[in-house]
Amino acid sequence: MEAAQSTCLFLLFLLTCGLPPKVAAEVQESSDGPSASQEPAWLTDVPAAEEFIAAAEVAIIGFFQNLEIPAVSVFRSMVQKFQDVSFGISTSSEVLIHYNITGNTISLFRLVDNGRLNLESKDIESIDDTKLSRFITVNNLRLVTEYSPMTVVGLFNSLVPIHLLLMINKTSPGYEENMHRYQRAAKLFQGKILFILVDSGMKGNGKVISFFKLKKSQLPALAIYQTVDDEWDTLPIAGISEEQVQNFCDGFLKGKRLRENHESEEKAQKVEL
C-alpha cells in the first residue's frame, strides 16, 4: 500500500506541476513520414491480423460487427492524425472470435510491453475524436517514449515497473546519434524497463529533472525509477553509449546504487518505517 501511494504521489507531482497542455502535437512528431497509409488496413483473416500486430510498435485494430456505427468514421479519422501508429479494421467473424471480441471493440496492441488495451462496447457507443485521440496518445508507448503529461499516464499504467529516463536537450549537438544508441539499448530491455526521453530543452520538463535532484549543468543524464518502491538512481553522462546504459540498468536491477547520498537517505527512511 505504501508503494502504491508513493507512486501516485510521484505521478500527481509530475502531472500537476505546470506541464504544457499541447501534447498531442508533440507526440505525433515521431511520425514515420508521409508514406504511411491514410486508410486502415483491412484484416480479413487471423494470420493477416497477427502479422499486422507483430509488424508494428503500436497497432490499433477496430474490431467491428458492422461498419454502420458512428465509431467507424471516428476511427478512420485517426489514421491521418497518428502517422506513427498502424491502423487496421476487421469485421471477419473468424478474426473477432480469435481476439475474443463480443460487440464492437477497439484494441491497441504494443510491442514494448506486449500490452493490449481495449475500448469496449460501452466506450465505443459514446466515442468521439477527443476520447479516441486521448486513448491513443496516452497509450502510444514506444521502445522509447517521449515524456509528456499524457504519456506519463500510460507509462504508469503499464505493467513494466521500471522506467529509465534520458534527460537531454533535443536541440543539442549529437542528439540524433545519442538517440540511436538509446534506442538500441532499449531493445535489450524490452519488457523489463520502459525507456523514456525527457526533452530538457522544454520548460515544463524542468520539474522532472528537479524531481531527480539533477541540475541543468549535469545534463544529459540518465535516471532510473522503480515504480513499486519508489527507488531511483541517476547518472550524469557526457553522451550515450549502449554499453553504459546497459551497465547502469543491470547495476540497478542488481541493487547497485550510484548516488551515495540518496542511498543513505533511503536507508534512513526505511529504518524509520
Residues binding ligand NAG (CB under 6 A): 98-100, 169, 171-172, 200-201
Query: With contact defined as beta carbons under 8 Å apart, do 137 and 23 qualify?
Result: yes
Residue carrying C-alpha cell 531511483: 232
Distance of alpha carbon 270 from alpha carbon 263, whole angstroms: 10
Q: Residue 118 CB, nearest distance to ligand NAG (Å)?
A: 10
- The secondary element (H helix, E strand) that includes residue 107 is strand 105-110
Candidates 97, 92, 140, 102; CA nearest to 122 is: 102
**What is the spatial distance between Cα 49 and Cα 29, in angstroms, rounded to a whole number?**
27
Residue 108, phi then psi, degrees to nearest 5: -105, 125
Give me the least distance between CB of 156 and ligand NAG, in Å please.
23
Q: How far is the CB of 105 from ligand NAG (least distance, A)?
A: 11
Nearer to ligand NAG, 223 or 249 (CB): 223
43 versus 79: smaller Cβ distance to ligand NAG: 43
CA 61 to each of CA 32, 86, 90, 107, 192: distance values in angstroms, whole numbers, following the listed order: 19, 8, 7, 5, 25
120 phi/psi in degrees, rounded to 5: -105, 180
**Smallest separation, CB 201 to ligand NAG (Å):** 4
Do the Cβ atoms of 105 and 126 come closer than 8 Å? no
**Residue number, 126 or 171, with CB nearest to ligand NAG:** 171
Tell the smallest beta-carbon distance from residue 226 to ligand NAG (Å).
Answer: 28
At closest approach, how far in Å is the CB of 49 from ligand NAG?
9
Nearer to ligand NAG, 199 or 233 (CB): 199
Alpha helices in 35-163 (DSSP H): 46-54, 71-81, 93-98, 121-125, 129-139, 151-157
